[in-house]
Structures are given as structure tokens and as C-alpha cells.
Amino acid sequence: MAEREIGKAAVGSMLLGMVQTNCYFVYKEDGRDHSRGVHYDDPTPCVFFDPADRGELIYDELANRGYKVEAIYLTHAHFDHFLGVDKLRELSGAKVYVCEKDKKYCEDPFLNLSAQFVGQSYTVKPDGYVHEGDVCEAAGFKFKVFETPGHTEGSCCYYFEDDGIVISGDTLFEGSVGRTDFPLGSAATLSRSIREKLFTLPEKTIVYPGHNDITTIGYEKKYNSFV
């Protein structure tokens, strides 16, 4: 049995949606058994990032493993990162937050790509907005908002400084970056966001991207040819 350090951040993930989006939930390791079907009267709180689809499934899976969603944050407002948000919010009671510069994407099915890729119009109504430099508090964590425009105008990353992790959405991938050929995207802006924000973080910082595998800041600074 592996030993686990109590009180440290742990990151769980689900792969959901038509374009295989990484959905993450961050919680403090408490030494509990989170196998499916193990129930606690006081479930472990978590922060959920980018509920890409099937909000009811997300809620049930987490509840069945002893987690409670305390807050929901979006890295940006493209459809493949929020289709599960309404049901997850309804079932969990958690509030939803996104960068205010993506407000127009939340409201416009063309900008959030649902009209083009899903063939239906989807929108999302956040409960609140975040901005550059904000320090968010949820599930016992404090994490900082970095606005990293380029993929969308309001793309942002969430940095857990004490735990050395960053949720990067579609800003930075392993060996790649987010697409900039969607409406209002900008390759130059995205590259600048990565260099001036993410590449200033410690090299050992673990990057949890919106698609594909996890990586580190140090690895991307050395090998990512797109930046």
C-alpha cells in the first residue's frame, strides 16, 4: 500500500466529451479510502475544473467515491469544457466561475463553438467571474488566476503555488499549445501568454492540460517548439 502525505493536494481526472477533454478535481489528501462505494458522512471537498459533458455522471462518480464538489471553475468557455456544467451545478449546489473576458463566449454559440461542432446552441451562465491576479479559495485551497488569452480572449490558468500544480486548460499542452484558428484566437497572443505567465513558474510545476497528457513547465520550456 502506497503511503500518502496527508494535507497535500491530489488531482483526479475524468476524460469526457466528443473531443476527449480532461476534467480535473483537486482535493486535499486525507488518508481516506476513495474506492467506489465507500461512503462518508462528511465527504472530502474538491474543486472541479472544466466539466466537459455528462454532469450527472460526474456528480455520481464523485459522490460514490466520497467527494463533494465545492466550486466549479472553467479555464475558458468553449463548449467542450462546459457541457456538463449545468447538471453538475444543479446536483452539487456549487457555483460556477469563468474569466470575465470570456463572457461573450458563454453567451454566443458561435464563439463557444457549440453551433459548429455539436449542431446545437449551448450557452452557460456563470455565477461569478475571475480576473488576473485573483486568489480563489475553495475546498481548503488558495489558487491564483493567470489570464492567458490566445485560445480565447478569456482563457485562464489556475495556479496552486503551495502544491506546485497549474490547471492550464487549452493554453499549454504537452509539446503543443491550444488552437488559435477559432473565432477571436491569436497565435501571437497565446505565445506571449505562455512565455510571460506560465514560463515564469518554477520548472518543476506540474501542468494539467485540457487535452492529452500532463507535463511540467521545465519540460515545455526546453522542448515545446510552438512557443
Task: List pLDDT tens digits, range 90-126.
Answer: 999 999 999 999 999 999 999 999 999 999 999 999 9
What per-residue confidence (pLDDT) applies to 2? 37
CA atoms within 13 A on the CB side of 71: 19
- Asked whether the predicted pLDDT for residue 5 surpasses 70, the reply is no
What per-residue confidence (pLDDT) applies to 36? 79
What per-residue confidence (pLDDT) applies to 4? 43
Q: What is the pLDDT of residues 61-77, one digit of tens each?
A: 999 999 999 999 999 99
For the beta sheet containing 67-73, the strands, ordered from the edge strand earlier in sequence to the opposite edge, are 9-16, 21-28, 44-49, 67-73, 95-99, 128-130
Contact between 167 and 24 under an 8 Å Cβ cutoff? The reply is yes
